[in-house]
Amino acid sequence: MNISRIVTGVASENCYFVQKNDQLLIIDPGAEPERILDKIDSLAAEPIAILLTHAHFDHIGALDAIRQAYDIPTYLSMIEKDWPMSTELNGSQFFHFDITAAQPDQLIPEETDQLTIGEFQIDIRRTPGHSPGSLSYIFTDDKVVISGDALFRESIGRTDLHGGDQATLLTSIRQQLLTLPDDYHIYPGHGMSTTIAHEKEHNIFFMA
């Protein structure tokens, strides 16, 4: 499995491309759809789905354009099913933007803890706190975590937007992510990648 990214938009959001053989997942297409489409073309793989870690505006800004280009399903937590269509819920209004997207067609129920999409086996861990429906996607065979805006390198996501709660976020990370093996690689929604071991040792929120 190969993971690549481009950094998009005013929030410097990471859009990830997860490739396995000739199949491709697009995760959090936040902005600049032309650059995302160019990147997809360069990978010579078939896009089969879009995954959203959550529905804040900086993670969905290019969603409709990518979906229209490839007519592929989009996955999002059921909890945030109305967020893409609402500038208040998705946070764009807070920053004086007007960014919306159509509702994803694959809404993940709260009881679902695994997805099979093409050749990809994905474990789902719920990591609310940054937003109520935040999901982290775990690719166990490759020891990879796509953490969205829950856990960053040596930091955590902000909790001052709609539905955010720092205590919930810290509990989510401790229980759902830091319990993973130390050698798992974390690919966050902003900034550089890291590992579980590094965060246990260097993240001020979790250092013993």
Mean pLDDT of 124-153: 99
Residue 145's SS3 state is: strand
> How far apart are alpha carbons 33 and 80 in whole angstroms?
22
pTM of the model: 0.97
Tell me, what's the pLDDT at 98?
A: 97
pLDDT reading at 57 higher than 80: yes
> How far apart are alpha carbons 56 and 131 in whole angstroms?
8
Residues whose CB falls within 8 Å of the CB of residue 208, separated by 6 or more in sequence, listed in order: none
To the nearest 10°, the Cα dihedral for 123, 129, 130, 136? -10
Q: Give pLDDT tens digits for 65-75.
A: 999 999 999 99
Q: Estimate to the nearest angstrom the gap between the alpha carbon of 59 and the chain centroid.
A: 7
Domain boundaries 2-202, corresponding CATH code: 3.60.15.10
Domain map (residue ranges) of the chain: 2-202
